[in-house]
Structure 1
Amino acid sequence: MADPASYRPKTGEIPTDPGVYRFRDPHGRVIYVGKAKNLRQRLTSYFANPATLLPKTYAMVHSAASVEWTVVGSELEALQLEYTWIKEFDPRFNLAFRDDKTYPYLAVTMGEKFPRVQVMRGDRRKGTRYFGPYTAGAIRETMDTLLKVFPVRSCSAGVFRRAEQSGRPCLLGYIDKCSAPCVGRVAPDEHYAIAEDFCAFMGGEATRFISQLEKKMAAAADELDFETAAALRDDVIAMKKVFERNAVVLSEDTDADVFAVEEDDLEAAVQVFHVRGGRIRGQRGWVVEKVEEASGPALVEHLLQQVYGAQAETDARIPREVLVPAMPDDADQLTIWLSGLRGAKVDLRVPRRGDKAALAKTVHENAVQALRLHKIRRAGDITNRSLALQELQEALELTEPPLRIESFDISHVQGTNVVASMVVVEDGLAKKSEYRKFAISGEAARDDTAAMHDVLTRRFRNYLAERDLPVEERDQNRKFAYPPNLVVVDGGQPQVAAAAKALAALGIGDDEVRVVGLAKRLEEVWLPEGDFPVILPRASQGLYLLQRIRDEAHRFAITFHRQRRGKAMTASALDEIPGLGPARKKALLAHFGSLRRLRAATAEELAEVGGVGPSLAATVFATFHGAEADETEPAVNLSTGEILD
């Protein structure tokens, strides 16, 4: 660990203006971003008596090797720049309000000719309406119930295309949970109107639809059309079931996000209830570790900055009201920023009395329970991870715990489609954003050791190239910029020797990056210089960690290999067809969706694809099915060998 005194700037050099600062590690990686009204006052606090620092703050300043700052013109500019840098650099020591799971949304793709209702997670798409977030069970039940009333298409593009080609709807069309626009039961504009009604219902106009259906039900009953009345009754019951699932907590014109925080000296639990149309539409939660004295107002500021900053591309998730447990110090600037993201005024305030204060109390009770549960679960997790890293440090004689581990695996079938994977584990946890895939060809694909040598050479050659870049450029090119403490290869002594040879050829010594191999049969740990393996106890947490890393690398490599093999099989099958160029290959696969359906197509169906005429269609069909020759193979009596007529 670095000594903060080695890079501490002189107090007189630090300006007293507002600005944003960055701490970097010895490799130039940004590990913390912060802002301050007074840069001098904030930065000098990091170099105070170590005994007064929080544990994570202590770890941060001792992991850093330099600090730099940028002066800005106002606190609003500092707020915007801080968020931009946090998003760009993803610093490991910043508060990260990330869910322990992703929450699904009910989405309607209104930008398509035939809108589709589906469950979506992740980034939002243009032209799609979103409702939620929901829990996984509730969203499926809601969707299933509403499709009885609003039969919007919910099938995938492939299913929809096959139904169009065959003229038969899917199962949902037969059970009246889809209006089947694929076979022309309804016109495109009629289906679009159904989708708009679905969105209107989910958007808070449920009372209007229920009232309309109840009037139609009564009218049908008066006309003695009891069959229609019964169907309308079922629709009303379905609507009310969805409508009443979420209790009314506030007036129906209220759209708000209600936040609550429960914290201790080291961690904080955050809960938010999403209220739309006066009803609780969803709930989310986070638990974060504190880096500095980010309590109360400061914690709320970081929370709102990250939660809503990630939604800058759409204003649909930012409500009119944001209710918080404590008003941030920069509340005015934060309100201006949120209003700019939403495109309309945002009311940021602390509820003091009434229904909103009562709801805020309920949200806080959820935060209290979340923090308590997190501490119970995490106690065992942190202990096991720390023990695993400590055991590996001792067994492999490392100078420090292997905080970053990279594992490599080779995958192929009899030397074809050779690929490799690299998985990354930091602090005992997988870091999937830094996983990498390698395609291997030529002489390097002759065997596993040659492939391993090639992959390690490519990975660390890139590291050396990026290490020599100016610090400012490394942040934009993070692919291989940071070396691991430990490299784990799947295999025994030959694979370890190949990996060590690759690093040695690049001038990377064993003291800089340690290489080990984990053999599958006996789970032995092999070192480059050893004639005998290191045997870790079967119950060792260090061995468990190595096994999990090795198995994850194996899974990732196999997945990539299957993708490459599938593409290669498709390409080779079509490459054999004379007159079929790249554009027509792409058109055929796009039209039929897969090679299997392309093989099953008739010559007439092949000729319908743009750019494929009757002559080429016949050639493609003949390639897949063989020429329709007049001469058939003669039948043979298997017992006598006699040719039969």
Structure 2
Amino acid sequence: MVLFLQGRGEDLIPNLRRQMEEAAERLDFERAARLRDEIKAIEHVLQHQKIITGRNETFDVLAVAQGAGGDACVQVGFVRNGKLLGSEYYLMSGARVDDTPSAILSSFVGQFYQQAAQIPGELVLEHPLEDQEVVGDWLTERRGARVKLTVPKRGLRRELVEMIAKSARQNLEQSRVRWLNDEQRTTAALSELADALALDRIPRRIECFDVSNLHGTNAVASMVVFENGKPKKSDYRRFQIKQVEGPNDFAMMQEAIRRRYRRALDVEQTEAWQTMPDLIIVDGGKGQLSAALNALQELGLNLPIAALAKEHEELFLPDRPDAVVLPRDSQALFLVQRIRDEAHRFAVAFHRKRRAKTSIRSVLDEIPGVGPRRRRELLRRFGSVEGIRQASVEELAGIKGIGRALAEQIKAELGG
């Protein structure tokens, strides 16, 4: 087992084969079959181990992923004798929203290598550790030989760090999904949230709003819906902000709230639009809360509402001067953070999509002779501005309504 963990699985096989043959000669076929299965299992693992260096190197690779709500995951990749044997992830339950990646990695290294049976001669890190020199001396003392701590900027080790960091992000996201699918936890979280916000009933349906824009341009708002602690994506809504000019997040939030709940009062709308939430959450602080509350009052609605401020993860309520601060390890805080993060993700994705469309439109609109119809034809054929840029004059001229002269002009304007 020690040889295998050191990346020397090939050294095990000859000895196991010899033991298998000896067992067969003794007619101990049960042991021979068990050894045969062990050999096959080791060979299967060795086939899937990735040779990543041409040298006989042994080191660990550490990366960290953080959620917007402070939850974190550390991923450790194990390279032994130039082979990546695999990786493991560890959820950092004590992490806080204001912890830096360096602080999380430092805490992890202290815990993990205190218990580790073996410490490699090098740790390859995504971020430098806090008090790195002190930690390095402690690791060297525990190992009985020097331990090097490196934070690569380029090359093979940097590629490994990026690969391990990607796995950390994926595992953190999967842990969130598993949490949301745990009925007991979500029920407890909803009950805890109702108590903390003094709601009349458990918030079975929660609607959360976020705004996304770049200096006031391509402004959008999102609304995500969670029912019984789980996302109900069929009820998600997106709003293009139409009535606000310039960077005014408060007015944008107000417009989104007004449009959403005006439609809720329209008896001709679908059931999804008419269904009222048990709780509204807006991403932001007192300013966003006040803007949203004004929009509801304009419509004559009195719905439970709170604002979740990201900096300290505080909840603000109407007519309450002090923020509600949920315990850092509470199920309710974890739930509202997940909901807020989903609203942010949905808003940012819509904003990026709008920005991309605007960019394409503005670039092509600057070319004389390319109107809306020709722009659509070009995009339909080549997919993007980059696709148009890579096309030849002959390919461009083959589009209906674009002759050679215009094709040459398009090439000249876009380059390529």
Q: Pick the TM interval, shorter chain.
A: 0.5 to 0.7
Match of 1:418 among 208, 212, 219: 219
Give the structure 2 partner of residue 25 of structure 1: none
Alignment of 1:329-344 (within 5 A): none
In structure 2, relative to structure 1, the CA distance for the partners of 1:517 and 1:609 (3 Å cut) is same
**Any unmatched runs of 5+ in structure 1?**
1-376, 627-645
> What CA distance in whole angstroms lies between the structure 2 residues aligned with 1:420 and 1:443?
12
- Aligned-partner SS, 1:412: strand
Give the structure 2 partner of residue 430 of structure 1: 231
Give the structure 1 partner of residue 296 of structure 2: 503
- Aligned-partner SS, 1:534: coil
More helix by share: 2
The offset of 1:597, in angstroms, is 1.6
Alignment of 1:216-295 (within 5 A): none
Give the structure 2 partner of residue 144 of structure 1: none
Deviations 1:491-525 (A, max 9, x none): 1110111111110111112xxx1110111111001
Give the structure 2 partner of residue 441 of structure 1: 242
Alignment of 1:515-594 (within 5 A): 515-594=305-384
Give the structure 2 partner of residue 480 of structure 1: 273
- Aligned-partner SS, 1:579: coil
Match of 2:194 among 368, 374, 393: 393
Determine if contact 2:215/2:247 at 8 Å carries over to the other structure. no
**Any unmatched runs of 5+ in structure 2?**
1-177
The offset of 1:443, in angstroms, is 2.4
> What CA distance in whole angstroms lies between the structure 1 residues aligned with 2:401 and 2:252?
41
- Aligned-partner SS, 1:443: coil
Q: Which structure has the larger Rg over C-alpha atoms?
A: 1
Give the structure 1 partner of residue 282 of structure 2: 489
In structure 2, relative to structure 1, the CA distance for the partners of 1:378 and 1:407 (3 Å cut) is closer
> What CA distance in whole angstroms lies between the structure 2 residues aligned with 1:554 and 1:448?
14
In structure 2, relative to structure 1, the CA distance for the partners of 1:540 and 1:378 (3 Å cut) is closer
Deviations 1:269-324 (A, max 9, x none): xxxxxxxxxxxxxxxxxxxxxxxxxxxxxxxxxxxxxxxxxxxxxxxxxxxxxxxx
How big is the alpha-carbon RMSD for the aligned residues of Structure 1 and Structure 2? 2.0
> What CA distance in whole angstroms lies between the structure 1 residues aligned with 2:192 and 2:277?
17
> What CA distance in whole angstroms lies between the structure 2 residues aligned with 1:479 and 1:507?
20
2:408 is equivalent to residue 618 of structure 1: yes
> What CA distance in whole angstroms lies between the structure 1 residues aligned with 2:390 and 2:319?
57
Deviations 1:330-354 (A, max 9, x none): xxxxxxxxxxxxxxxxxxxxxxxxx
In structure 2, relative to structure 1, the CA distance for the partners of 1:380 and 1:411 (3 Å cut) is closer
- TM-score normalized with structure 1 length: 0.36
- Equivalenced residue count is 239
> What CA distance in whole angstroms lies between the structure 2 residues aligned with 1:400 and 1:503?
20
> What CA distance in whole angstroms lies between the structure 2 residues aligned with 1:443 and 1:554?
20
Deviations 1:547-588 (A, max 9, x none): 000000000111111111111100111111111122211111
Give the structure 2 partner of residue 82 of structure 1: none
- Aligned-partner SS, 2:274: coil
Determine if contact 2:216/2:245 at 8 Å carries over to the other structure. no
Determine if contact 1:418/1:445 at 8 Å carries over to the other structure. no
Identity %: 47
Give the structure 2 partner of residue 457 of structure 1: 258
- Letter of the 2:311 partner, please give it: R
Give the structure 1 partner of residue 16 of structure 2: none
- Letter of the 2:305 partner, please give it: V
The offset of 1:378, in angstroms, is 10
Determine if contact 2:243/2:255 at 8 Å carries over to the other structure. no
Determine if contact 2:180/2:229 at 8 Å carries over to the other structure. no
Determine if contact 1:385/1:541 at 8 Å carries over to the other structure. yes
> What CA distance in whole angstroms lies between the structure 1 residues aligned with 2:242 and 2:179?
44
- Letter of the 2:287 partner, please give it: P
- Letter of the 2:375 partner, please give it: K
The offset of 1:479, in angstroms, is 4.0
Alignment of 1:153-232 (within 5 A): none
Determine if contact 2:225/2:235 at 8 Å carries over to the other structure. yes
- Aligned-partner SS, 1:480: helix
Deviations 1:512-548 (A, max 9, x none): x111011111100111222221011011111111000
Determine if contact 1:445/1:451 at 8 Å carries over to the other structure. no
Deviates more, 1:567-576 or 1:596-605: 596-605
> What CA distance in whole angstroms lies between the structure 1 residues aligned with 2:247 and 2:368?
31
Give the structure 2 partner of residue 404 of structure 1: 205
- Aligned-partner SS, 2:198: coil
Runs of 4+ in 1 over 6 A off after TM superposition: 377-380
In structure 2, relative to structure 1, the CA distance for the partners of 1:531 and 1:381 (3 Å cut) is same
The offset of 1:409, in angstroms, is 0.4
> What CA distance in whole angstroms lies between the structure 2 residues aligned with 1:441 and 1:615?
39
- Aligned-partner SS, 1:437: strand
- Letter of the 1:503 partner, please give it: L
> What CA distance in whole angstroms lies between the structure 1 residues aligned with 2:348 and 2:211?
8
> What CA distance in whole angstroms lies between the structure 2 residues aligned with 1:461 and 1:605?
49
Larger relative CO (CA 8 A, sep 6+): 1 or 2? 2
Deviates more, 1:617-626 or 1:530-539: 617-626
- Aligned-partner SS, 1:465: coil
> What CA distance in whole angstroms lies between the structure 2 residues aligned with 1:593 and 1:535?
48
